[in-house]
Amino acid sequence: MTAACGGQSDGQEAGDNKQVEIFSWWTGAGEEAGLNALIKLFEEKNSNIQVKNAAVAGGAGTNAKATLATRMQGDDPPDTFQVHGGSELNDSWVAAGKMEPLNDLYKEQGWMDKFPKELIDMVSKDGKIYSVPVNIHRGNVLWYNAKIFDENGIEPPASFDDFFKAAEKLKKKGITPLALGDKEPWGATHLLETVLLGKLGPEDYGKLWTGKLSFEDPKVKEALKTYKKMLTYTNKDHAARNWQDAAQMVAKGEAAMHVMGDWAKGYFTTDLKLKPGKDFGWTATPGTEGSFMVITDTFGLPKGAKNPKATQEWLRVLGSAEGQDVFNPLKGSIPARVDADVNKYDEYGKETIEQFRDAKLTPSLAHGSAAPEGFVTEADQAVNTFVTQGNVDRLAQTLKEKLEQAIQ
Amino acid sequence: MEPLRSAQKTDDRPVTSVRTRTGINDKWVGFFLLLPSLLAIAVFVYGFIGWTGYVSLSDWNSLLPRMNWVGLENYRALFQDFRFQSDLRNTLVFTLFFIAACLVTGLTLAVLLDRKLKGEHLFRNIFIFPMALSFIVTGVVWQWIFNPSTGVNLFLNKLGFEEPPVWYVDTRIIPGVEWGQIQFGIPLALIAVVIAAIWQMSGFTMAMYLAGLRAIPDEIREAARVDGAGEWQVFRKVILPLLRPITLSVMIIQGHISLKIFDLVVAMTGPGANFVTDVPGVYMFETTFRGNHYAQGAAIAILMLLMVSVLIIPYLVSSMRKEAD
C-alpha cells in the first residue's frame, strides 16, 4: 500500500518499489540458510514486494566487492548491499557520497539504544548513520583441542606467557602448538591483529589506525616480535592451507590451537560435527580478555537505488529483534542488537552475547573495518613477506608508510 | 595472428578486382561489412588499451575515480616494489622452464608416436586430453598432488624418504643472489607449478610437432639415408631444421600463455609465502579489485602487454614479410 503509487513513471531509473534487490556474498551453507530465512520473514511481512537475491559467490567476498564497485561506479547500485561496518563502509562508499543517511529510520524504529553505541559509531560518519548491522562475529578467539589440553594438563592460555609455556610443552611432545593457514594472506594478518590487540590493549590498538600511535613505536615493535615468536610454533605447511584446513588440524588433533574468528565454530559444529565444549574449547586470544574484535555485516541504502521505499522495509526487518534472531542462529553469529532472545543460541553464542554487552569493541584490520581496503591489501602483502623473512623493522616501516599514504 | 593475415588479404583483393565496375562496389560492400567489427575492435580493444594506459598514468588508487596526472609514478613504484620484482623473476623463470620442458617433452612424444606404432590414436588422445581441461581444474588437482602433507609425499614417506620436498610451500630461492629488494634465482616452489603447466600443455606441443613431422615427405629422409646418413644424423641434420617454424610457433604460443598465466596460479598456490609463486596477473587482480588501486593495476596490465608484445611483434613482422614475398 505504501509502494504502489499508480502508473506514473517518475523517471525511467526509478522502480515501483515492488521489488528489492539484495546484494551479498552469502552463498555458504549456514549463511545462505540465514539469508533465506530473513527473506522468508520479509516476504511474510511484505507480500507485495518481491525479493531479488543477488548474491555473488566466492573469494570471501572479493568477487562480490569487485562486482559491487563496478555497479556503483556505473551508477547502477543494487537496492541494498552487504558491507562490513567501519572503514569498508565509511572510507569508501560514504566518503564518495554514494550512501543515504539512515538517522530517521533509526529514530523511527527506536534503534539508538538497541545497538551498542560503539557499534553505531562504526557505521556512522560525522553524526550520520549509514547502515544497519545485522550480525556480529568475534575475531579474537583462540580455539583449542580439548582432548590435547586435558591430556597435557594445559589450561586455556590467558596471557602470552601462558601461551608460550603451553606451546613449548606441546612442541616437545611433537604436537604442532598453533595451526596457521595463510594460503589466503589475510590468515596471517588476522593472527597479527589479535597479537597487536593483546599486547597494546584496545585503546592503543585503536590509535594505530588513525596514525596517533606509530607502527614504529617500541611498543608496537615489541608486539611484532611476539608475533614473530608465535610463528615459530606454527605448522610448516601453513602456506598450503586456508583457514578451514588449519582449523581441521585442531579438529583432528594434529595441532592444539588455532586463532580464528568465530565463523570457525560453525565449521567445527556443522561441517566437522564436533561438540562445543567437549571436543573443542575456546577462549579470548592471549591478552584480549574484555576486548571484542568486531566483524559486523551491515546493509545500507545507496543513493540512486531504484526501490528506496522497499529497501527501507527490508532494513526495518533486518534491524528488528525478530529478524536478527531468525538470521543469526543459522549463520552462527550473534545478533547486533543487545535485546535479542538469548535462548535461541547455542552454548558458545550465549557466552559471546554476554561478553559482547560489556566488552570493549575494536575494529578488525584483516576484515576491513579498521583501515581502508587499499591499506588492508598492502598490510597483507607486508605480513606475507614478514612471515618468511621475519624482519621486524621492515614490517613496522612498511606499515607506517602505507598507512600514512592511505589515510592522508 | 589469423585476423591480421586475413586483413592483409583484403588489402590485396581490390588490386585484383578493380577490373570491373561491380568490383568497385565489392570494395565498398566489403568495407561496410567489416565496419561493425572494425569499430568494435577499435573501441573494445584499442580504445580500452588506451584507456588503461591513461589510467596507469593517473593517481586513481582508491574507489573514487580521482584522475590527476602523475606521469610514470605508478611504474616507478612498481619497479621498486618487492612483490613486483618477485613477479618479474617468477615470470622469467616460469617462462623459460615451461617452454623448454614443453618443447622437449612434446618433441619426444611426437617422435615416439611417429614410429607408426599400434594404438597411436589412443596415445595421441591421451596426451592431448589435459589440454581440454581448464587451468583451474589442473591447478586444483595438482594442488592436492603436491600438498606437502597429504599428496605425493605420502608415497615418498612410504618409500623411505624422511624429509620429502615440501613442493610449492618451499620458500628457498636457488642460488638466491641479492638483487634489488629480492633474491634472484629459481624459486623452488615454482617448480611444482611448472610441472602442472607442462602436464597440461605438452600434449599440444606434441600435436604441433606431430603435424610437422607428418608434413615432411619421406623422400627427403630417404635421400639423406642414401647419402649415407645414420638415423640420428637424419634427425639432427634434416628433420630438426625442417621443424624450426613449428618450434617458433610453439614458443610464441606457449610464451604468451606463460607471460599471462593467472588461473593456474590462483587455483594451485595463490601468491605463496614471500611471493615465491606470485605472477603479475595475480598481483594485478588483487591490487585492482581487492585493494582498489586502479592506477597501479593498470600499470601492471600495460607492462604485461609490453612483455607479450616483445614476444609477438617480431613474429608477426617476420610472418607478414614472408607473406608479402
What chain A residue is nearest to B146 in terms of C-alpha separation?
Answer: A240
**Of the candidates B62, B274, B290, which has its C-beta nearest A384's C-beta?**
B274
Q: Which residues pair with B187 in a beta bridge?
A: B173
Nearest 10 degrees: Cα torsion B283, B274, A382, A222: 170
Per-residue exposure over A49-62, b if at least 16 CB sit within 10 Å of its own CB, e if not = bebeebbbeeeebb
Whether the Cβ atoms of residue A263 and residue A295 lie closer than 8 Å to each other: no
- The amino acid present at A287, given as its one-letter code, is G
| First CA to last CA distance, chain B | 18
Q: Is A8 helix (H, G, I), strand (E, B) or coil?
A: coil
Give domain B84-324's CATH architecture.
Answer: Orthogonal Bundle (1.10)
Residue B102: partners with Cβ closer than 8 Å, 6 or more residues away? B198, B201, B202, B204, B205, B250, B254
Provide the 8-state DSSP code for B45. I
Contact A385 B275 (CB under 8 A): yes
Q: How many residues does chain A have?
A: 408
CB atoms within 10 A of CB B203: 23
Angle at B269 between CA B268 and CA B275, to 5 degrees: 150
Q: How far, in Å, are A96, B97, B175, B263 from residue B192 at the CA level?
A: 44, 11, 18, 15
Which run of H or of E encompasses A30? Answer: helix A29-45
The answer to whether the CB atoms of B63 and A69 lie below 8 A apart is: yes
Q: Is A55 helix (H, G, I), strand (E, B) or coil?
A: strand
**Tens of each residue's pLDDT in chain B, 325 residues:** 344 444 444 444 444 444 455 566 788 888 899 999 999 999 999 999 999 999 999 999 887 777 899 999 999 999 999 999 999 999 999 999 999 999 999 999 999 998 877 888 888 888 889 988 999 999 999 999 999 888 899 999 999 988 889 999 999 999 989 988 899 999 999 999 999 999 999 999 999 999 999 999 989 999 999 999 888 999 999 999 999 999 999 999 999 999 999 999 999 999 999 999 999 999 999 999 888 899 999 999 999 999 999 988 888 888 888 888 7
The three grid cell numbers given for residue A190, joined into one nine-digit string: 588476522
Which chain A residues contact residue B78 at CB under 8 A? Answer: none
Sign (positive or negative) of CA dihedral B210, B212, B214, B218: negative
Determine which helix (DSSP H) or strand (DSSP E) holds B251, and give its type and residue range: helix B244-259
Give the one of B61, B171, B270 whose C-beta lies nearest to A184's C-beta: B270
A228 Cα to chain B: minimum distance (Å): 15
Dihedrals phi, psi of A20, to nearest 5 degrees: -140, 125
> What distance in Å separates the CA atoms of residue A276 and residue A137, rounded to the nearest whole number?
17
Of the candidates B100, B277, B125, B114, the one whose C-alpha atom is nearest the C-alpha of residue B187 is B277
Give start and end residues of each alpha helix (H) in B42-131.
48-56, 73-79, 82-113, 120-128
Alpha carbon B66 to chain centroid distance? 34
Q: pTM of whole model > 0.95?
A: no
Q: Domains of chain B: which residue ranges?
A: 84-324
Gap between the Cα atoms of A234 and A178, Å rounded? 5
Interface test with A, best of B136, B289, B294, B300 (most A CBs within 10 A): B289
Question: Which residues of chain A are within 8 Å of residue B63 when distances are taken between CB atoms?
Answer: 69, 72-73, 92-93, 96, 373
Give the separation between CA A267 and CA A392, rounded to whole angstroms. 33
The span from the CA of A276 to the CA of A278, in Å, is: 5
pLDDT tens track of chain A, all 408 residues? 334 443 333 333 457 788 999 999 998 878 889 999 999 999 999 999 999 999 998 766 778 888 898 899 888 999 999 999 999 999 989 998 999 999 999 999 999 999 999 999 999 999 999 999 999 999 999 999 999 999 999 999 999 999 999 999 999 999 999 999 999 889 999 999 999 999 999 999 999 999 999 999 999 999 999 999 999 999 999 999 999 999 999 999 999 999 999 999 988 988 899 999 999 999 999 999 999 999 999 999 999 999 999 999 999 999 999 999 999 999 989 999 999 889 999 999 999 999 998 899 999 999 999 999 889 999 999 999 999 999 999 999 999 999 998 887
Residue-wise pLDDT for A144-170, tens only, equals 999 999 999 999 999 999 999 999 999
Could you tell me which of A351, A367, A369, A368 has the C-alpha nearest to residue A359?
A: A351
